[in-house]
C-alpha cells in the first residue's frame, strides 16, 4: 500500500526530501511562505533554497499544517531544531493516531538539551519516532548525485517499511536501530564542520583539516557513547559519513559559518547574510552543557564555542588546541 507523506518545512533539505518521496508516494509539503507554496504548485521550483532545481511534478504544497498532515500515513519534520517543538505542537491535533513521525533536523533543543525524537515522544506519545540522517547535502542529492542515508527507529519493522518511502534512484537508505547515536552524530558533527571551516577560512591547510576531522570524530564519539549511543554508529553513515561530507564541503552551512569566521567576519553578520539555519551555532551551547554533565573532554567544541560566544578569534582557537597536553590516541571511548 502506498503511504501518504506530509512534510513540514520548506527549506532546502525538507524540499529535497519531499521531492524524493513524491516520486514514490503522494506527498504534501508545508511552507510558511505563501509565495513559496504558489511557486512549488505552479512552477515546481523553490528558487530561494534550491536554485535552478526542478521538483517532482506530483509534489503538492500547502500553507496549512492541517491539510498537510491530516491524511498523512507518515509525518516528516523538516524544520530547524529550535522551531521543532512549536511546529509539532501546532500539528498535533491533526495527526492521526500511531502515525510515524520522522525528524530531519540535525540539532538539539537549547532550553531542554533534548534530541528531536525525545520531543516527539514527549508531545506525541504512542507515535513511532525516527530520524533520517547521514551525509546528505541537499543540492547534490536534488541534482541526482548518488548518496546514502540512514533511517533510524527503535522498531526495525517500521524502519524497513519506511525505507521504501525515502529510497529513490541513486538515493539509498539503510536502517539502524540506534536512534540516540544517529541523532547525536548528525547534531555534533556540525560543530566540527564549523571548526574545519574556520581552518579553511584561515588557510590552515589540509593537514590541519584532516587532524580536526579525525580528532573531531573521536570527540563526538566520546560524548555520543556517554549519552547512550553505540560506538559503531559513529563510524557509519550517521557519524563519520556525515562528518566527512559536512567538514569538506563548501555547500555545508556550518562549514560556511566557520569559513567566514576564519576570514574575519563576525557571527552576527554571517548569520544575517544566510537564508538558512546553521544548526551547529546553537548546538555548540548545548554541547558544552552536555559535556560537563557527562564529564567528557571536548577540546575542539570548547574552542568553537569560545569563538562563537566569548569573543575569541580563530587564531586563539588554534593556539588553544596546540597548547593542550598531547595524550595517547588510544583513549577510552
The architecture CATH gives domain 5-177:
3-Layer(aba) Sandwich (3.40)
- pLDDT at position 218 over 70: yes
**For the domain bounded by 180-322, which CATH number is listed?**
1.10.1040.10
Confidence of residue 141 (pLDDT cuts 50, 70, 90): confident
pLDDT one-digit tens code per residue, 277-325? 788 899 999 999 999 999 999 999 999 999 999 999 998 888 877 665 4
Per the CB < 8 A criterion, the answer to whether 283 and 81 are in contact is: yes
pLDDT average, residue stretch 223-237: 96
Helical spans, DSSP H, in 263-313? 267-273, 279-293, 299-309
Of 138-142, 222-226, 329-333, the one with minimum mean pLDDT is 329-333
Position 332 scores a pLDDT of: 45
pLDDT one-digit tens code per residue, 172-210? 999 999 999 999 999 999 999 999 999 999 998 898 899
pLDDT average, residue stretch 224-236: 97
C-alpha cell at 17: 526530501
Position 168 scores a pLDDT of: 85
% of the chain surpassing 70 pLDDT: 96
Contacts of 268 (CB under 8 A, 6+ apart): none
Confidence of residue 327 (pLDDT cuts 50, 70, 90): low
Domain ranges of the chain: 5-177, 180-322
pLDDT average, residue stretch 93-114: 96
pLDDT one-digit tens code per residue, 241-274? 999 999 988 888 999 999 999 999 999 999 989 8
Position 280 scores a pLDDT of: 85
Position 181 scores a pLDDT of: 97
Which residue of the set 92, 139, 160, 189 is catalytic?
Answer: 189
Confidence of residue 224 (pLDDT cuts 50, 70, 90): very high
Confidence of residue 138 (pLDDT cuts 50, 70, 90): confident
Active site residue 57: no
Per the CB < 8 A criterion, the answer to whether 65 and 7 are in contact is: no
Q: CA 108, 111, 116 angle in degrees (round to 5)? A: 30
- Measure Cα distances from 125 to 66, 87, 95 in Å: 19, 16, 12
Position 96 scores a pLDDT of: 97
Per the CB < 8 A criterion, the answer to whether 55 and 17 are in contact is: no
Residue appearing with cell numbers 517499511: 161
- For residue 96, give the H/E element and its range: none
pLDDT average, residue stretch 121-129: 97
Per the CB < 8 A criterion, the answer to whether 56 and 23 are in contact is: yes
Spatial CA neighbour of 284 closest among 201, 219, 331: 219
Amino acid at each position: 500500500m502506498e503511504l501518504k507523506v506530509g512534510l513540514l518545512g520548506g527549506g532546502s533539505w525538507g524540499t529535497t526530501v519531499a521531492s524524493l518521496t513524491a516520486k514514490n508516494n503522494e506527498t504534501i509539503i508545508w511552507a510558511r511562505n505563501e509565495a513559496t507554496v504558489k511557486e512549488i504548485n505552479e512552477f515546481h521550483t523553490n528558487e530561494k533554497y534550491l536554485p535552478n532545481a526542478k521538483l517532482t511534478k506530483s509534489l503538492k504544497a500547502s500553507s496549512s499544517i492541517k491539510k498537510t498532515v491530516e491524511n498523512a500515513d507518515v509525518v516528516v519534520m523538516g524544520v530547524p531544531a529550535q522551531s521543532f517543538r512549536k511546529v509539532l505542537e501546532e500539528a498535533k491535533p491533526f495527526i492521526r493516531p500511531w502515525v510515524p513521525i520522522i525528524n530531519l533536523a540535525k540539532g538539539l533543543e537549547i532550553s531542554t538539551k533534548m534530541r528531536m525524537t525525545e520531543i516527539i515522544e514527549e508531545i506525541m506519545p504512542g507515535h513511532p519516532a525516527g530520524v533520517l540522517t547521514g551525509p546528505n547535502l541537499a543540492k547534490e542529492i536534488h541534482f541526482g548525485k548518488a548518496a546514502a542515508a540512514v533511517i533510524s527507529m527503535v522498531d526495525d519493522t517500521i524502519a524497513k517499511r519506511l525505507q521504501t518511502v525515502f529510497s529513490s534512484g541513486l538515493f539509498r537508505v539503510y536502517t539502524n536501530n540506534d536512534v540516540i547515536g544517529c541523532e547525536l552524530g548528525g547534531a555534533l558533527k556540525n560543530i566540527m564542520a564549523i571548526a574545519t571551516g574556520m581552518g579553511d577560512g584561515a588557510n590552515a591547510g589540509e593537514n590541519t583539516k584532516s587532524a580536526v576531522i579525525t580528532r573531531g570524530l573521536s570527540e563526538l564519539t566520546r560524548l555520543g557513547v556517554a549519552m547512550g549511543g553505540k560506538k559503531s554508529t559513529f563510524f557509519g553513515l550517521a557519524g563519520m559519513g556525515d562528518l566527512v561530507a559536512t567538514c569538506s564541503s563548501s555547500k555545508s552551512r556550518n562549514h560556511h559559518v566557520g569559513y567566514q569566521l576564519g576570514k574575519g567576519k563576525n557571527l552576527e553578520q554571517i548569520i544575517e547574510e544566510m537564508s538558512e539555519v546553521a544548526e551547529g551555532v546553537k548546538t555548540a551551547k548545548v554541547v558544552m552543557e552536555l559535556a560537563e554533565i557527562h564529564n567528557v573532554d571536548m577540546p575542539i567544541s570548547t574552542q568553537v564555542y569560545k569563538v562563537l560566544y566569548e569573543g575569541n578569534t580563530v587564531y586563539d582557537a588554534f593556539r588553544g588546541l596546540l597548547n593542550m597536553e598531547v595524550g595517547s590516541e588510544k583513549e577510552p571511548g
